Amino acid sequence: MTGELKPVPRPTPETLPYWEATRRRELVHHRCDGCGAGSQHPRAVCACGSTDLTWTSCTGRGRLYSYVVVHRPEPVFADEAPFVLAIVELEEGVRLTTRIVDVPADPSALPLDMDVELRWIERGDVNLPVFAPAGPEGA
Amino acid sequence: MDAIIIGAAETDVLGRNPGQSVLGLNVEGGLRALADAGLEPGQIDGVAGACSPHGVAHALGITPRWVDSTNVGGCSFLMHVRHAAAAIAAGHAARVLVTHGESGRSRTGTVPRPRDPQSWTGQFEEPYGARAPYTRFTLPALRHLHGNGLDETALAQVVVAQRRWSSRVPRAGRRDLMTLGEVLAAPVLAWPFTVPMICMLTDGGGGLVVTASGHATTEQLRRSVRVLGTGENSDPLLVAQVPDPAGDSAARRAADDAFAQARIGRSEIGHVMVYDAFAHLPLIGLECLGLAPAGGAAEMVAAGETSPGGSLPLNTNGGGLAYTHTGMYGMFAIQEAVRQLRHEAAAQVPGVSTSAVLGYGGMFTASSVLVLARN
Ligand SMILES: [Zn+2]
């Protein structure tokens, strides 16, 4: 393969625990021990004033919050078009930008609020959390 | 607040202009705004801009006592007006020149922006292919439509309405009237967004001169526009984490501050400019400004209320969708509001005396609002 490579996240000291967890295929979020609010990326102080924030595992279940179907991406992603770029809201109340995979890139297959579950795609020395339509309960 | 805009002008060329650099566009925008105000560069003592205001000042022979280089994306120029008003009130400057210039299409003299895989977007958005603005700014749109029982037709209505304005504006880049069906059938860049729902990409610039009435001549006061109220605010740096783009968001908080300072009610607003890099922004923006009920903007647009002859003329130059969009559209939204309030616009709203201008920046992460009035 020639030309530009797909972008690989480069952790900072603050985000390193998140990306190290992805190497183990574990999705974590930064949760406030005071009020329970969480975010995908690390915070220094929670909005409630607490500085007690802990990297905590996510169940990997969530819902499809919003999305676009990208038909004309930047050239480095051209081989994947059309793809579903989405915002997923996790059970833990955290939202993140991600992909919806294992489903046709067609709005009729992508109702909002659809249950989704965690998948992984490999990228460089980390893994990217992505999501697929959830299987039946208990399956 | 005693801030007034006494000079406002755009570059001669809007569109394709590979022969002019970013600096050159800023300088031309500044010189034309000075000429519009009847001022010499030596009378300016404050400069603001998102692209090296120091360099622009030097090129124009200005020695500024006050500089503002705020750059939070496309709404930066609304913040420059706000910051200039505060600086003038504090005595830090008497006359501030705000300039914009961007070679969005030709990329002439543009400082390259290297990818930063350590930034928030480089870590949490770009690896998924969320890079071009039309794959990021657009992400919350479906949620807004879905939550209000709407579909992509609401986006197409925005284009139809704004083409009714741009068809009357000779300088607009896209002047053809479009039907709903034509907008929906156009090529898709990122569903539900088709090409006409996405802003143009142009070269251009402009300038503004802000002062206080005590520093202005009778002739400058005659065509001046009063800054009644201003607001600015910010949200999380990742679009997925903005709590609700149409609810509690930077735009709504900025609008509340601007209207509180302006001391006029929403019902007194006769003209609106909403930063429209994409067709969902006028809908969300009208609701954040408090000029449409929550979820009700699409109905107003479809009913023609924002079109020529309607009760709330919106984006009367055609907007970023149809007039011009250099990459940072905020300057052009202010320019059109000033033209309307001076009664010098190409598609003039008869008798208009107040305007609200809402700017967005950085994919919903920053916002600023100006409430302006005919002086
Ligand atoms: Zn907390």
Residue B191 domain-assigned (yes or no):
no
Amino acid at B64: P
**Are B207 and B234 within 8 A, CB to CB?**
no
DSSP B85-117: HHHHHHTS-SEEEEEEEEETTT-TTPPP----T
Residue B335 domain-assigned (yes or no):
yes
pLDDT of amino acid A139: 47
- Calpha distance B122→B116 (Å, rounded): 6
Residue B148 domain-assigned (yes or no):
no
Strands of A28-32's sheet, edge to edge? Answer: A38-39, A28-32, A53-57
A-chain residue closest to B118, CA distance: A10
B-chain residue closest to A13, CA distance: B118
pLDDT digits (tens, 9 = 90+) for B111-168: 887 889 999 999 999 999 999 999 999 999 999 999 999 999 999 999 999 999 999 9
Chains A and B: how many Cβ contacts under 8 Å?
A: 119
Amino acid at B332: F
For residue B26, the SS3 value is helix
Q: For residue B189, list chain A residues with Cβ-Cβ distance below 8 A.
A: 70-72
Residue B139 domain-assigned (yes or no):
no
Encoding tokens for residue B223?
Answer: 């065509």
Torsions phi, psi for B30 (to 5 deg): -65, -45
HSE, side-chain direction, 13 A CA sphere, residue B210: 33
Cβ of B191 within 8 Å of Cβ of A107? The answer is: yes
Average pLDDT over residues A87-114: 97
**How many degrees, rounded to 5, is the angle at CA B17 between CA B51 and CA B273?**
60
Q: Which helix (H) or strand (E) holds A86?
A: strand A83-90
Amino acid at B176: D
pLDDT digits (tens, 9 = 90+) for B317-355: 999 999 999 999 999 999 999 999 999 999 999 999 999
Beta pairing class for A83-90 and A61-70: antiparallel
Q: What is the residue whose two structure tokens read 């200005």?
A: B62
Encoding tokens for residue B353?
Answer: 């005396």
Cα torsion through B89, B90, B92, B95, rounded to 10 = 0
Q: What is the pTM of this model?
A: 0.97
Q: For residue A128, list chain B residues with Cβ-Cβ distance below 8 A.
A: 127-128
Q: Does B326 touch chain A (CB under 8 A)?
A: no
**Are A132 and A103 within 8 A, CB to CB?**
yes
Range of the domain at B65: 3-109+200-374
Amino acid at B303: A
pLDDT digits (tens, 9 = 90+) for A6-47: 999 999 999 999 999 999 999 999 999 999 999 999 999 999
**Are A87 and A97 within 8 A, CB to CB?**
yes
HSE, side-chain direction, 13 A CA sphere, residue A61: 8
Interface of A with B in 87-106 (CB under 8 A): 87, 95-99
DSSP state of B307: S
Cβ within 8 Å of residue A139, ≥6 positions away: none
pLDDT of amino acid A2: 55
Residue B307 domain-assigned (yes or no):
yes
Residue B131 domain-assigned (yes or no):
no
pLDDT of amino acid B138: 97
Q: For residue A74, list chain B residues with Cβ-Cβ distance below 8 A.
A: 129, 131-132
- Calpha distance B230→B247 (Å, rounded): 19
Cβ of B142 within 8 Å of Cβ of A41? The answer is: no
For residue B185, the SS3 value is helix
Encoding tokens for residue B175?
Answer: 């002047």
Residue B134 domain-assigned (yes or no):
no
Q: How far is CA A112 from CA A84, A138, B149, in A?
A: 13, 22, 12
Average pLDDT over residues B280-299: 97
**Are B88 and B98 within 8 A, CB to CB?**
no
pLDDT above 60 (res A135): yes
pLDDT digits (tens, 9 = 90+) for A104-120: 999 999 999 999 999 99
pLDDT above 60 (res B274): yes
pLDDT above 70 (res B80): yes
First to last CA, chain B: 13
B-chain residue closest to A127, CA distance: B127
- Calpha distance A100→A129 (Å, rounded): 10
Q: Does A55 touch chain B (CB under 8 A)?
A: no
The total number of structural domains in chain B stands at 1
**Are B289 and B358 within 8 A, CB to CB?**
yes
Cβ within 8 Å of residue A122, ≥6 positions away: A128
Scanning B97-222, the segments in alpha helix (DSSP H) are 120-124, 141-147, 152-166, 180-185, 218-222
Q: For residue A20, list chain B residues with Cβ-Cβ distance below 8 A.
A: none
Average pLDDT over residues B165-179: 98
Q: Which domains does chain A have, with CATH numbers?
A: 15-133 (2.40.50)
B177 CB-contact burial (10 Å; exposed 0-12 / middle 13-18 / buried 19+): exposed
> Which CATH number characterizes residue B333's domain?
3.40.47.10
Band of residue B92 on the pLDDT scale cut at 50, 70, 90: very high
Q: Å from A131 to nearest chain B CA? A: 12
Residue B155 domain-assigned (yes or no):
no
